[in-house]
């Protein structure tokens, strides 16, 4: 899995088209690995410029497991936070 960590630091990354670089520059390493394998499989039949031009069209063919998660694992659940507010302070405009 270490090779997938260094992709964004590679000396060749500045030569990648912007949208492809942003697509593989995701913090979730398992999704990054799947995306890189998908990109490598596309390179067997397409040139990098063609992948860049048809990027969104080709994205429709990928599986859902390569999508970014809907929620961040460290997102704040504001509903639970609001439940902790004391009832005496609710509706009070005074600080």
Cβ–Cβ < 8 Å for 52, 21 = no
Give me the residue spans of the domains in the chain: 2-67
The residue ranking higher by pLDDT, 77 or 16, is 16
Chain-centre distance for alpha carbon 83: 31
What was the pLDDT predicted at 48?
92
Phi, psi (degrees; rounded to nearest 5) at 89: -95, -10
CB atoms within 10 A of CB 8: 13
Cα gap 84→36, rounded to integer Å: 43
| pLDDT per residue as tens digits for the range 38-86 | 999 999 999 999 999 998 888 887 766 556 555 555 666 667 767 777 6
């Amino acid at each position: 899995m270490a090779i997938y960590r260094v992709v964004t630091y590679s000396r060749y990354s500045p030569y990648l088209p912007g949208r492809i670089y942003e697509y593989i520059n995701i913090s979730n390493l398992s999704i990054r690995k799947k995306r890189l394998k998908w990109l490598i499989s596309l390179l067997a039949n397409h040139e990098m410029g063609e992948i860049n031009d048809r990027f969104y069209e080709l994205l429709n063919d990928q599986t859902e497991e390569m999508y970014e998660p809907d929620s961040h694992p460290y997102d704040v659940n504001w509903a639970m936070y609001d439940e902790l507010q004391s009832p005496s302070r609710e509706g009070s405009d005074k600080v």
